[in-house]
Amino acid sequence: MAIPTNTSTTYSAIGIRESLANVIYAIAPLDTPFFSGCSKQKVDNTFFEWQTDTISAGAANRQLEGDGSDSTSADARENPVRVGNYAQISRYIVQTSGTNEVVDYAGRKSSQAYQLAKKAKRMKRDIEFMLTSNVARNAGATATARISAGLPAWIATNYHSLGSGAATGTASSGNGTDIATDATTDNSITEAGIKTVIKEAYESGGDPDVIMCKPDIKQAISDLAQTVSSLRTAADKVAPAHVIAAVDVYVSDFGTFKILPNRNQARSQDVYILDMDHWAMGVLRDFKTVDLAVTGDSQRQMLIYEAGLMSKNQKSSGYLANVTT
């Protein structure tokens, strides 16, 4: 059917207003489970220290009845160990021209404020990445940024590697001064490996209750426990049309664990068995927005955070290394 002569249509019309939604639909993996789970502790120097201690295993300790002799020497004492880490500086600077700040934007009133909010969310992701990176502490220098030691540099006692090859993987010293050595080849995660680390952490005195890993490893753990999933499906009386292929809770001989996928964890080959009561952030400067000097027709602001990881006692947690799906 033909359009009548001189009929006006949108194809040739002039002056039609744009239809632009007054909202911005943004998506990104913003959750930071380890950073969010750490307690916060104020520190007063770029290098901050704390003390850890333990108690020796029980012994027979048999003494004679009525023994009145004075001991020639005192029993050996166990002294606390002094450890420390550096506060690492995280920073973003946002600069917006005067004109860009006053024009009418869809979805935001202020371009400067919008970009600052985005950088704040990104900084939290940066911190999560930093905390889970296999890096040792570094004091830095005039041309080198300070480095805060990450999780792999703090767990030594309850370390277990599934790696193989010329190098099978070794733990760090557990005091932040060196890193864990990776294996030549990563191998598939096993329940036996998880159970080994959980048992070692329990025997060391820890009470971990979180298994933290990358999403692909979370799926691999679910694949290990399909029989558990089937039992849970029956117990929860899920409708027959529903299929449950996920395992979110692992019940071990030494406690119940939440399996926590971490989209912002630095490395996929690392699985952490964590007692979060023993992890904290030593905060030298908390999140702060600083107005910088005006340079011409623009506004500049700096978002800054300065902190480092505190391992209150590395024996509380465990590290299953060199895993893959």
Domain assignment of residue 176, yes or no: yes
What contacts 55, CB < 8 A, 6 or more positions away?
78
pLDDT at 6: 62
Domain assignment of residue 67, yes or no: no
pLDDT at 67: 75
Domain assignment of residue 233, yes or no: yes
- Domain with 229, as residue range(s), is 44-51+80-324
Domain assignment of residue 144, yes or no: yes
Amino acid, single-letter form, for residue 314: Q
What contacts 32, CB < 8 A, 6 or more positions away?
124, 125, 127, 128, 264
What's the structural domain count of the chain?
Answer: 1
| Residues 5, 10, 12, 15, CA torsion sign | positive
Domain assignment of residue 275, yes or no: yes
pLDDT at 310: 97
H/E element, 125 = helix 111-131
Domain assignment of residue 20, yes or no: no
Name 323's bridge partners: 187
> Helix or strand or coil: residue 185?
strand
Domain assignment of residue 269, yes or no: yes
Backbone angles phi, psi at 77, to 5 degrees: -105, 155
DSSP characters over 10-24? TTT-S-PPP---SS-
Query: Contact at 8 Å (CB) between 274 and 210?
Result: yes
pLDDT at 235: 46
Helix axes 226-236, 215-224, angle to 10 degrees: 80
Round to whole Å and give the CA distance between 285 and 44. 9
Backbone angles phi, psi at 227, to 5 degrees: -65, -35
Q: What is the CATH number of the domain that holds 85?
A: 3.90.1690
pLDDT at 4: 75
Domain assignment of residue 266, yes or no: yes
One pLDDT digit (tens) per residue for the chain, 325 residues: 777 776 675 677 677 677 767 776 666 677 999 999 999 999 999 999 999 998 888 888 888 887 766 666 777 888 999 999 999 999 999 999 999 888 888 888 899 999 999 999 999 999 999 999 999 999 999 999 999 999 999 999 999 999 999 999 999 999 999 999 999 999 999 999 999 999 999 999 999 999 999 999 999 999 887 654 443 444 455 555 655 667 789 999 999 999 999 999 999 999 999 999 999 999 999 999 999 999 899 999 999 999 999 999 999 999 999 999 9
Round to whole Å and give the CA distance between 323 and 48. 33
Query: Contact at 8 Å (CB) between 212 and 272?
Result: yes
